[in-house]
Amino acid sequence: MVDNNTNKHIYCPNPYILAEIMPYGNVYPCSCGWIRGYSFGNIFEQSFDEIWNGEKAKKFRQKLYDNDFSLCPGCQNLEILKEIHDKEPKLISEPPERILLGLDELCDVKCIFCRGENYKVDTNLIPKDKEDKLLEILSPWLEKAKYVKTNAVGEVFASKISRDLIKNIASKFPNVKFEIITNGIQCTKENLEKLNITDKISMMTVSLHAFTEKTYNKIVKGGNYKKVIKNIEYLSQMKKERKMDRFELHFTVTSINYKEILDIIKLCRRIDAKVRLLGLDCSRDLEETYNKINIQDKKHPDYNKLVKLVHSQEFLNAKDVVIQGHDYFVGLEPISFWDNLKNKIRNKCKIFGVL
């Protein structure tokens, strides 16, 4: 409820500053799962103005101004919310400053929680007649962009579409900084140089999911642990030389890798990176695998071992760890495991909440 005397509203900046442009060209103002797939529109069917300042966008901003979070049932970013005392809602917005791109799902490996053995990449995420016009279509979105993050749904170095897009954005919008999320296999010095962005990297995220090669091979099918570790060392050097602002390793927690969490934390300390522990999501047709490895589930035989581990002093003393529940997939209830954990330990340790 809004207090009429103070005109107090809870403000979320995301629908003004963030656009996630995802498979098939749908635009979201925040993580798709948190807002249950509420899209502002589609870049292949509508103009920038029709989407960013259209009826659906205005409705979203109005609701947040009214402190009505019914379109944000999975919000895991309460830290971002602030109080404002504006007399009028701001329904129209300038172009966003941060763009997250997930337009091509091509990948060079199959991680067991992302893609099954028989997974077929959908090559129709971008209409064929629009492939050559991608930069043109995206240009109004990039007008005020400071940061572009890619690739949220595939592997950036395995996708010519993603690589060309980065090169073209870097050349047409020289002020844009890049946030690259990758499995790290092809993230070499040479490949980064080919993208022409070595002086424009704001953040690098490498998804590693394991400390040992044996565990890595159980998770990243077709991967190459030694190459990833070599590339991580190079990125660590870049971070130490301040050639990027942020460096993170992603570690999706499962029953296969949870015993290596403390080792990954130690590794991250050495390489000057943060570790982001991701809660497991049930992805598409992978229910059988999910049930086997979903250690977040109280019914999982190893659940208590994970609980013990995250309550150990060593874990609680860890710094630069981010815990992120995952709830990308529309229709799923938020996983409460990480939320409960965060509430329990928030006051006891230095672990950050979600970003």
Ligand X SMILES: C[S@@+](CC[C@H](N)C(=O)[O-])C[C@H]1O[C@@H](n2cnc3c(N)ncnc32)[C@H](O)[C@@H]1O
Where do contacts with ligand X occur on this chain (CB under 6 A)?
Answer: 107, 111, 113-114, 151-153, 155, 181-183, 207, 250, 252, 278, 280-281, 283, 326
75 touches ligand SF4 by CB under 6 A: yes
* Cβ 255 to ligand SF4 shortest distance, Å: 18
34 touches ligand SF4 by CB under 6 A: yes
* Cβ 77 to ligand SF4 shortest distance, Å: 4
Question: Amino acid letter at 84?
Answer: I
103 touches ligand SF4 by CB under 6 A: no
Q: How far apart are CA 268 and CA 285, in angstroms?
A: 32
* Cβ 106 to ligand SF4 shortest distance, Å: 9
Q: How far apart are CA 266 and CA 225, in angstroms?
A: 18
DSSP 86-127: -SS-----PPPSEEEE------SSEETTT--TT----TTSS-
Site residues for ligand SF4, 142-171, by CB under 6 A, read 154-155
72 touches ligand SF4 by CB under 6 A: yes
- Partner from ligand X, ligand SF4, none binding residue 278, C-beta < 5-8 Å depending on class: ligand X
Run of H or E residues at 166 = helix 160-172
C-beta separation of 66 from 98 below 8 A: no
* Cβ 89 to ligand X shortest distance, Å: 34
Please report, for residues 104, 127, 243, the alpha-carbon distance to residue 161 in angstroms, rounded to integers and kept in the order given. 7, 13, 25
Q: Which residues neighbour 157 within 8 Å (Cβ) at sequence distance 6 or greater?
A: 108, 163, 182, 185, 186, 187, 191
Among 84, 111, 121, 262, binds ligand SF4 (CB under 6 A): 111
- Residues binding ligand SF4: number (CB under 6 A): 22
- Partner from ligand X, ligand SF4, none binding residue 80, C-beta < 5-8 Å depending on class: ligand SF4
106 touches ligand SF4 by CB under 6 A: no
Find the part of the chain contacting ligand SF4 (CB under 6 A) among 103-111, 163-171, 253-261, 321-329: 103-111
- Partner from ligand X, ligand SF4, none binding residue 109, C-beta < 5-8 Å depending on class: ligand SF4
* Cβ 194 to ligand SF4 shortest distance, Å: 20
Q: Report the chain's terminal Cα–Cα distance, integer Å.
A: 26
The pair of structure tokens assigned to 72 is 């944000």
Q: Tokens 């010519």 identify what position?
A: 160
